[in-house]
Amino acid sequence: MSIWIDSDLCELVKIFVNKKWQDKHVKCYCRERSWQSSRFIQVSTILKDMDIHYELYLGKVQLHFEGKYRNEEYKSFLRYLREQVPSHEGIKWRRWQEMHQGLCEINYEINTEKELEEKLTKIINLFDPIIEKFVSENRTLFPNQRGQEVIPNLTYEIKEELPTENLNPTINCVGNIPFDKLLIPTYQRPYKWSAKNVNQLINDLITFSNKEQYRLGTLVLHKNEIVDGQQRIITLCLLITKILERIHKGQEKTEEKYKGIVSKLSDFSNKIKFENRYSLHNVVENLYVMDTRKDDFDESLLDFILQKCEFVVIQLSDISEAFQFFDSQNARGKDLEAHDLLKAYHLREIHQMTEADSQNIDIWQSQQTRILKNIFLTLFRAKRWSEGKSARYFTKDQVSIFKGISLKDGKRYPFYQMEVIAHIFTEMYANDPIRQIDQNHLEYPFNINDQIINGSRFFDMIQHYLSLYKKLENRGTYPEGGKAREIIDLTNDYEGVYRTGDRYVKNMFITLILYYVDKFGFEELDKVIPKFFIWAYTLRLESLAVQLASTDNYASEEDSMFRVVHDAKTPYDIININQSSLSHIECTKCERITAMFEKLNKYQRNE
């Protein structure tokens, strides 16, 4: 059976591609409960255009030509590629989307992740140089491509590349956006917003509908062509249309009130042509999602969108500026990290910035990206594994796990009242004038499994766990001469510690310690850490090799140690559990780990 496309495989491909080729985009479609025949993973070529892309589809790695590349003007391009890479035993051209030879694939069924990486590398290394050579010799056919000799060092900040004093940004509410004049240029990527993006946008609009202004982002235009902001503009067009359908229903007053925006959206819709099949698929999917949310739509929400939601609109005067901006925003896939999205979300939830907020945000800004990614991944895994759920990767698709209680919406559901009470009491205690005398400090009682308070408390939480994680990495945290320090030193210094599988096990082990300390503090570490060590490193000793999937499956099992800690009422509920001894060992370069198991009476060598 060929390799199964799911969200885990998508994330693995993204990580692999971003490490090997930083200038490539990855697009996945693997909707839950969908057939494998409707799932795919796409990777861009050197062109800034997903109408031509590499794709994993039904177990084969392929090169696809779609959209405009089916047009007559690109026949010479396709003919050149076929001549340079003719069909043979290992690779073949075949029919695709009414094109006689519109697809080229490696004639090999992929069954493993390693095979996927090998075949993807093979097809990219085969075609990218050929495509690049043809583009360099046919600039008129590819006017939107910027050669490396022209822009050798693209950056991601427009302020470093463009004369910003000439940009003249303006703030426009959605109702004043000239939808009827907007155009989508050919160099734009396909419409890729999914149901998750649409639901998140609708949720955010409802959550912040009581604000006087709500910033949706930046809309960059060149002579009314959308350079940046296409995804939101198309989605808003669809959403406003659906809300209008919901509230009209023969209401003459509302039809008269909104006839201006109806006319503009109609003109915009008539000009859009979705030639790319995935763009069309996403439009249909998102319209369906909006239909399922129709009970959330009313006139007040529409007025909020049209009158209070805003874009920063930038008009670029020169076409080269437009291409440069488009390249700098999109070409290298320099997408916002998941933690960047959370930072923006929670900043919007802060009503009034305090000195403590500023300090926390300064600390955040000073952290290296890898440290922020690691702390979010660790917290994500601790929370998910303790609930018996998979947690291989933390991506933008999972940011909702770090969104919680809004203190602005006026809602107080019973299940999170304890967090609200703790928040209010901590604030009252800190602001009591007596604190200026006794200098006491009361920290908010963070717990990984609790609901998050949006805004300032979120940044307090990240600072709290950054500090805790750093403390757990310091061997001085553990009692000198005790079992805990001996085991921590061992896991940092045995022969196989730097192997990938061993790092997976160690990360699981440290995540478990953090989860325990988060719940019980530093009580009884000399007694619980040997229990954690036996549990975590049993997986290592019993396996010749450990994959990420191995640790994820092991940690999310119903009887895993994460569940034991989750259900424990005191440390002794953990200390008193009985753990089985090892009967055999498969691991190499694990002699010191094995010796520790013997010392803890959990393994006996056969004489």
244 assigned to some structural domain: yes
Chain segment 294-308, per-residue pLDDT in tens: 899 999 999 999 999
Claim to verify: residue 442 and residue 481 sit in the same structural domain: no
- Do 451 and 488 belong together in one domain? no
- Least confident interval from 207-216, 302-311, 512-521, 560-569: 207-216
Angle between helices 369-386 and 338-348 (to 10 degrees): 90
What is the model's pLDDT at position 50?
81
> Which of 297, 315, 333 represents a domain boundary (last residue)?
315
- The answer to whether the CB of 316 falls within 8 A of the CB of 218 is no
The answer to whether residue 147 sits within a structural domain is no
Q: How far is CA 417 from CA 206, 346, 452, 459, 469, in A?
A: 21, 20, 12, 20, 28
Range of the domain at 83: 7-137
Residue 86 has pLDDT above 90, yes or no: no
> Which region, left, alpha or beta, applies to residue 310 given φ > 0 means left and ψ of -120 to 50 means alpha?
beta
Comparing 90 with 305, which gets the higher pLDDT? 305
Residue 62, domain member (yes or no): yes
Indicate if the pLDDT at residue 534 is higher than 80: yes
Q: How confident is the model at residue 325 (pLDDT cuts 50, 70, 90)?
A: low
User: At 182, which amino acid appears?
Assistant: L
556 falls in which pLDDT band (50, 70, 90)? very high
Q: Is residue 444 part of a domain?
A: yes
Residues 215 and 303 both lie in one domain:
yes
Sheet-wide strand order for 214-222: 170-173, 309-315, 214-222, 225-228
- What is the pLDDT at residue 151? 31
Instruction: Evaluate whether 526 touches 370 at the Cβ level (below 8 Å).
Output: no
Query: What is the residue-wise DSSP string for 536-604?
Result: HHHHHHT-SS--HHHHHHHHTSTTSHHHHHHH-SSTHHHHT---PPP-----SS-HHHHHHHHHTTS--
Q: How confident is the model at residue 32 (pLDDT cuts 50, 70, 90)?
A: low
> How many other C-beta atoms lie within 10 A of the C-beta of residue 179?
21
% of the chain residues with pLDDT over 90: 34
Does residue 150 surpass a pLDDT of 60? no
Poorest-pLDDT segment among 221-225, 273-277, 394-398, 512-516: 273-277
- The verdict on 444 and 489 lying in the same domain is no
Distance from C-alpha of 88 to C-alpha of 90, rounded to nearest angstrom: 6
The two beta strands, 99-106 and 91-96, are antiparallel
pLDDT at 111 (0 to 100): 83
Look at residue 253 and tell me if it is in a domain: yes
Instruction: Please report the pLDDT score of residue 33 as a whole number.
Output: 60
Highest mean pLDDT among 7-21, 154-168, 229-243: 229-243
Q: What's the confidence (pLDDT) of residue 406?
A: 84
The answer to whether position 607 is within a domain reads no
Identify whether residues 131 and 43 lie together within a single domain: yes
Do residues 43 and 29 share a domain? Answer: yes
pLDDT at residue 149, rounded to an integer: 35
Do 106 and 243 reside in the same domain of the chain?
Answer: no
> Poorest-confidence range of 146-155, 250-259, 344-353, 515-524?
146-155
Average pLDDT, the chain: 84
Name the band, by pLDDT with cuts 50, 70 and 90, for residue 157.
Answer: very low
| Tens digits of residue pLDDT in 544-555 | 989 999 999 999
Please name the residues in contact with 314: beta carbons below 8 A apart, sequence gap of 6 or more. 167, 168, 169, 218, 219, 220, 221
pLDDT score for 160: 34
Residue 294 shares a structural domain with residue 398: no
Asked if residue 214 is part of any domain, the answer here is yes
Rg of the chain (C-alpha set): 28
Residue 171 above 60 pLDDT? Answer: yes
Mean per-residue pLDDT, 83-103: 80
22 and 108 fall within a common domain: yes
Domain count, the chain: 4
**Rounded mean pLDDT, 16-34:** 77
Cα 538 from chain centre: 32
Mean pLDDT of 439-467: 90
Beta bridge partners of 312: 171, 218
Structural domain ending residue among the three candidates 122, 137, 152: 137
Q: What is the pLDDT of residue 165?
A: 45
Given a cut of 50, whether residue 162 has pLDDT beyond it is no
Q: Are 421 and 445 in contact (CB under 8 A)?
A: no
Same domain, yes or no: 406 and 491 = no
Edge-to-edge strands, sheet with 40-44: 26-29, 40-44, 52-57, 60-65, 99-106, 91-96
pLDDT at 190 over 80: no
Q: What is the largest CA-CA distance in the chain?
A: 92
Identify the burial level of 33 via C-beta atoms within 10 angstroms of its C-beta, where 0-12 means exposed, 13-18 middle and 19 or more buried.
exposed
Examine the fold and report which residue of 422, 452, 469 is the final residue of a domain before the chain moves on. 469
Segment of 161-175, 319-333, 451-465 carrying the highest mean pLDDT:
451-465
DSSP letter string, 211-254: SS-EEEEEEEEETTEEEE-HHHHHHHHHHHHHHHHHHHTT-HHH
Residues 446 and 391 in one domain: yes
- H or E, element range at 96: strand 91-96
Flag whether 2 is in a domain: no
The band of 96, judged by pLDDT with boundaries at 50, 70 and 90, is confident
**Dihedral angle computed from the Cα positions of residues 23, 17, 399 and 296, in that order, rounded to the nearest 10 degrees:** 70
pLDDT at 601 (0 to 100): 93
* pLDDT surpasses 90 at 17: no
Residue 164 has pLDDT above 50, yes or no: no
Name all contacts of 565-568 with Cβ < 8 Å and 24+ positions apart: 565/386, 565/512, 565/515, 565/516, 565/519, 566/386, 566/387, 566/449, 568/519, 568/520
Mean pLDDT confidence for 578-602: 92
The answer to whether 136 and 35 are in contact (CB under 8 A) is no
Category of 439 on φ-ψ map: left (φ > 0), alpha (ψ -120 to 50) or beta: left
Same domain, 306 and 359: no
The predicted model gives 334-360 an average pLDDT of 77
